[in-house]
Amino acid sequence: MAKELKNLTKRSENYSQWYNELVVKADLAEQSAVRGCMVIKPYGYAIWEKMQRQLDDMFKLTGVQNAYFPLLIPKSFLSREAEHVEGFAKECAVVTHHRLMNDPDGKGVVVDPEARLEEELIIRPTSETIIWNTYKNWVSSWRDLPVLCNQWCNVMRWEMRTRLFLRTAEFLWQEGHTAHATRDEAEQRAIQMLNVYADFAEKYMALPVIKGIKTANERFAGALETYTIEAMMQDGKALQSGTSHFLGQNFAKAFDVKYINKENTLDYVWATSWGVSTRLIGALIMTHSDDNGLVLPPHLAPIQVVIVPVYKTDDQLQAINTVVNPIVANLQALGVTVKYDNADNKRPGFKFADYELKGVPVRLVLGARDIENGTVEVMRRDTLEKHEAPLQGIEQYVKNLLEDIQQGIYDKALRQREAMTYRVDTWDEFKAQIEKGGFLLAHWDGTTETEERIKEETKATIRCIPLDAPDEQGRCIYTGRPSSRRVIFARNY
RNA sequence: CGGGGUGUAGCACAGUUGGUUAGCGCGCCACGUUCGGGACGUGGAGGUCGGAAGUUCGAGUCCUCUCACCCCGACCA
């Protein structure tokens, strides 16, 4: 372990490799035996659980309830909505049989050819189709609306190339699906959920995000409008961190979901869907961490404070235990998650390095010296600064420090993003800057054709049209045609 | 599916023009000394060399086939 971490690739040398090693060495996840799939280890899953709990509370405050829909979707459902099937068809896993049998040649088991399914089943890449097929039975009157459901589940998209958390063949997420009586209500819901995501990202993940609208080209398959939160990683690349879609009446029409409105006429319902995934954990890692390992925001860290004793003899350990035990209890009473690591099978130096690698926000170290002086050594993970603090009142001190760190890493990430955001007005400037990374605010003529040309030539895509983009007359960076606001270009994960 | 690369202990690797008993480091186990920033010493366990077939007195090494994984593209939350 010791040597391995010292070999941890530096961020500046190879950002991707640094990321991969960090995920594995910090015990978050690893590759599974199945191609492109990921094992999320207990420490990584604990972060996900904290995210889930928080998001779930936020959803419920907006009236959303949880439900669960099946993993398998009849193949025919997928083709009901033309754009939707086109968007997902190329990456679906398909169930064709329901039985295995012993190989007649004695080489293990083989698929029983007799057991072919009449209609093949798709492992959900997303659940719009099966959910809208269900909503058809739930909605008949304006009194049944709105329907506001969310589900926590796994989905599968057979991606060609995968990266832990950022893109895996199977991933965990939540997907919300709502049905509304009016267009306006659905659009408001899509924006409302985008705001929930942005709040969550900023307050809990300490992740500054830009809210915006996707271009037609980048829009979700089957949506009329896709809202997004975009974040910038430390290498200047963008990461789409959450999306909320206004689906119009596309799925209602495809699955024939109609209701009788107050005017006593039959109408299709209006829909939204929205989701965030375990990709957020990737965003968390790539935004805050450093060459010593993870830096976790206190609001999501599975362990917020670790206390490490330093001692030589059993008597000294006993004395430290006596001082630490009430501190642990007091911290817990303040709602702080604390771990007292007095295991004697690891040396202090090892523990220090290990908890740094795992991103624990605050470390307290107590030795015989401190017991004598009534002090404790406090280290904050974000800055790696150490200082002495009085034992008296340490609990409240630590609680305040956690909030400081939460705010500190948000501010740092925001400064970093601002430092790497550029207003660009010429094509030469654009091509030069995109190589160095960052967000490029540039004018665009609004056509898909131009967008695709730019992507071909520079690998940069339009991440979003920011919701708060001010009106500004200008000329398209590529074609010189008129434009009325800047959009964000970047390379992305 | 194209282009490149790698398969040898839990991990990361070395292994010469083929040569007999396959090696190093980390990790693991035991004992001792240590313990305020990833300790050290001594001893020990751990391998069908990705798989199959072939050449040879002899294959980790050479040939053929095959499988798996990684990197670069096409696809993407």
> Which of residues 358-377 of A have CB within 7 Å of strand B?
363, 365-370, 377
What letter represents residue A278's amino acid?
T
Give the other-Cβ count within 10 Å of A392's Cβ: 9
| Average pLDDT value for residue range A152-168 | 89
Q: Is the CB of A161 under 7 A from strand B?
A: yes
Picking from A56-65, A97-106, A181-190, A445-454, which range would have the lowest pLDDT averaged per residue?
A: A97-106
Give the CA-to-C1' distance from A45 to B10 in angstroms: 23
Give the CA-to-C1' distance from A1 to B47 in angstroms: 23
pTM of this structure: 0.94
- Distance spanning both ends of chain A, measured CA to CA: 30
Question: Over the stretch A443-471, which tens digit does the pLDDT of each residue have?
Answer: 999 999 999 999 988 889 999 999 999 99
Question: Over the stretch A217-254, which tens digit does the pLDDT of each residue have?
Answer: 899 989 999 999 999 999 999 999 999 999 999 999 99
CATH number for domain A305-402, candidates 3.40.50.800, 3.20.20.80, 4.10.520.10, 3.40.50.11540: 3.40.50.800
Residue A87 pLDDT class (50, 70, 90 cuts): confident
Instruction: Residue A212: name the closest of A470, A489, A466, A484 by CA.
Output: A466
Q: Is the dihedral of CA A75, A78, A79, A84 positive or negative?
A: negative
For the domain covering A421-490, report its CATH number.
3.30.110.30
Give the CA-to-C1' distance from A27 to B11 in angstroms: 14
**Residue pair A164/A25 in contact by the 8 Å Cβ criterion:** no
Instruction: Residue A241: name the closest of A170, A165, A337, A154 by CA.
Output: A165
Nucleotide nearest to A156 (CA to C1'): B77
| Average pLDDT value for residue range A268-276 | 97
Give the CA-to-C1' distance from A351 to B29 in angstroms: 22
Nucleotide nearest to A20 (CA to C1'): B70
pLDDT at A273: 97
For chain A, give every domain's residue range: 2-94+123-288, 305-402, 421-490
For the domain covering A2-94+123-288, report its CATH number.
3.30.930.10
Give the CA-to-C1' distance from A46 to B26 in angstroms: 29
Nucleotide nearest to A455 (CA to C1'): B74
Cβ-based burial of A429 (10 A; exposed 0-12, middle 13-18, buried ≥19): middle
Nucleotide nearest to A277 (CA to C1'): B77
β-sheet bridge partners, residue A483? A474
Nucleotide nearest to A4 (CA to C1'): B26
Question: Over the stretch A320-342, which tens digit does the pLDDT of each residue have?
Answer: 999 999 999 999 999 999 999 99
